[in-house]
Structures are given as C-alpha cells and as structure tokens.
Amino acid sequence: MVTLIQAIQKRIDGSLAFDKNWDDYKNGFGAPEQNVWIGDAMLDTGRSSTNLSGMSFSTLDRDNDRAGYGNCADFGGGGGWWYNSCFKSNLNGPWSAEWARPWYPPLLFGEGISETVMMIKPH
C-alpha cells in the first residue's frame, strides 16, 4: 500500500511573499515546484500564550488570534498562521535567507533554516 504525503506549505526562497489575505490562503497560491500554500508551533510548549494547538488560522484581513492588542498576522510583515498571542513560530512570516528562529523552541541551535516544507499524511 502506498501512502501519499501531501505538501501544504513549501518555501525555498523569498520570491513569493506569504502576506496574503484569507481568500488567498483558502484557495492556495504559488507553484508546487517552488513556493506554495495549498490549504488552511502546533506544539504544546507548556505556555498558554505560545501553544498553537487548536488555534484558528489568521490572515491580514481575518484576526482570529487571542492577542488583545491587534492582529498578529499584521505584525512584522505578517503571513497567515495559527497565531495565539502572537507567535513563537511563523513559517509564513517575512522571508529570510536563513531564519534564526522561525520555530520555538528552536529545532537547531546556532544554525539558520534556509527552507521549509509542511506536509500532511492521511490516515
């Protein structure tokens, strides 16, 4: 039996900004061989303000986060994400050739991350 794994997010360079509105994220954008988003830190870090499990997706035009002081998707260049208050992870935020901390807790210490892929595997 072959299990198909689907990439829902891929960023290999900064040629496509991810500061999109709700409809863009809903409909998808980009190209699968380059930078792409095809859908809609899920990690429980133990802190209620940084736990993204169960968070609603927010975009520049839809503020669904728990922060009481503005739209997290609009801070620092934005990007749609499952924000809480606001973020310790944001793979769809402003592009950097090597992110120092796109995810918290950091996956690597002393090294940047040059590209990302988020994937789903159906049951």
Q: What is the 3-state secondary structure (H, E, C) of 98-116?
A: CECCCCCCCCCCCCCECCE
Q: How far apart are CA 90 and CA 83, in angstroms?
A: 8
**Chain centroid to CA 98: how far?**
16
More confident residue, 10 or 1: 10
36-37/29-30 β-pairing = antiparallel
> Average pLDDT over the chain, rounded to whole?
74
CA distance 120 to 107: 19
pTM, entire model: 0.68
What's the mean pLDDT in 49-65? 81
Q: What domains can you pick out in the chain, each with its CATH number?
A: 1-123 (3.90.215.10)
Reply yes or no on whether the pLDDT at 40 is more than 60: yes
What pLDDT score does 41 carry?
A: 45
3-class secondary structure per residue, 39-77: CCCCCCCCCCCCCCCCCCCEECCECCCCCCCCCHHHHHH
Averaged pLDDT for residues 45-64: 76
**Which region among 28-32, 64-68, 114-118 has the lowest average model confidence (pLDDT)?**
114-118
What spatial distance separates the first Cα and last Cα of the chain, rounded to whole Å? 12
